[in-house]
């Protein structure tokens, strides 16, 4: 009788402890560690990221065309001196395009960082295992991964007969390097503007990305060509 009573009392204590949250937590089996992605998986990931990059750049070009057709950039005011919306432009369309361009440029910067990270992982995955005295490494297949140049600006307009036009710069060219200015130091194009202003009549090397190909150019900023500025083209930051 006492044994049965003790069993019932112990069962009641277990139920009460479980109800009140006093039971120790169950020990879960340790999770299986995640495996590093294979080279093929990394290659597929890189291709997907590059496809997204191309789509973003295409949409950016379309939105920039909206601004160009309206004769307005990213910073000009949308109201007149009296504070009223400018009547000669579609203010709503321009504002919407500007906001979308800002978002896409942020997405593009983030995406380029992801691409750089994946390419770094691919480079690591391609490294053969070191040889040991016991075993010889099997022959490996060399996978050539093209480095993705990072552009920091895009040409959205080139004036005819300007120094930029004479140098071969064309609309939609993406600027990878202009003199010593690149994606690491352009400071939202302020450093580039300073370089161009200080380099009148001096030849600067320019590297652009055009339709997936890297093109090397030389441009000499100069005044007196018949238009505004010393370059004669309009650049937008990426």
Q: Domain boundaries in the chain? A: 38-127, 149-238
Across 76-210, the runs of DSSP E, i.e. the strands, are 153-158, 174-178, 204-210
Tokens for 167, please give them: 């140098």
Contact 204, 171 (CB under 8 A): no
Give residue 1's pLDDT. 46
Kindly report the number of other CB atoms within 10 A of residue 87's CB atom: 7
2.30.42.10, 3.50.50.60, 3.30.465.10, 1.25.40.10: which CATH number matches 149-238? 2.30.42.10
Q: DSSP for 52-66?
A: HHHHHHHHHHHHHHH
pLDDT tens for each residue of 139-157: 555 555 555 678 899 998 8
Contact 225, 165 (CB under 8 A): no
Q: Kindly tell me the burial class for residue 168, based on how many C-beta atoms sit within 10 Å of its own C-beta (0-12, 13-18, 19 or more).
A: middle
Q: What is the pLDDT along the chain (238 residues), one digit of tens a residue?
A: 444 545 555 555 455 545 555 455 555 555 555 677 888 888 888 889 989 988 998 898 888 888 888 888 888 898 888 889 988 889 899 999 999 999 998 998 898 888 888 888 887 877 665 555 555 555 555 555 555 678 899 998 888 889 999 999 999 999 999 988 888 888 888 888 888 888 888 888 999 988 888 999 999 999 888 888 888 888 888 8
Q: Which one, of 96, 91, 20, lies nearest residue 62 by Cα?
A: 96
- pTM for this entry: 0.44
Give residue 64's pLDDT. 83
Tokens for 82, please give them: 């009296």
Tokens for 161, please give them: 């007969």
């Amino acid at each position: 009788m006492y044994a049965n009573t003790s069993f019932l009392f112990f069962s009641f204590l277990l139920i009460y402890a479980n109800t009140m949250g006093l039971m120790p937590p169950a020990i879960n089996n340790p999770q299986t560690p995640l495996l590093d992605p294979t080279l093929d998986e990394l290659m597929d990931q890189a291709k997907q990221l590059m496809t997204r990059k191309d789509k973003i750049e295409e949409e950016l070009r379309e939105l920039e065309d909206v601004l160009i057709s309206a004769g307005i950039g990213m910073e000009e005011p949308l109201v007149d001196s009296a504070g009223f919306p400018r009547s000669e432009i579609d203010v709503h369309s321009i504002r919407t395009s500007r906001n979308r361009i800002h978002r896409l440029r942020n997405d593009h910067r983030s995406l380029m960082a992801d691409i750089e990270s994946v390419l770094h992982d691919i480079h690591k995955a391609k490294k053969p295992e070191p040889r040991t005295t016991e075993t010889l490494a099997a022959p490996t297949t060399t996978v050539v991964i093209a480095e993705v140049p990072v552009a920091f600006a895009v040409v959205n307009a080139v004036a005819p007969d300007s120094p930029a036009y004479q140098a071969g710069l064309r609309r939609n060219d993406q600027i990878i390097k202009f003199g010593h200015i690149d994606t690491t130091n352009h400071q939202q194009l302020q450093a580039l503007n300073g370089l161009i202003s200080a380099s009148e009549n001096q030849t600067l090397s320019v590297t652009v990305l055009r339709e997936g190909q890297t093109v090397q150019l030389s441009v000499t900023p100069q005044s007196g060509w018949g238009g505004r500025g010393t370059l004669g083209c309009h650049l937008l930051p990426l």
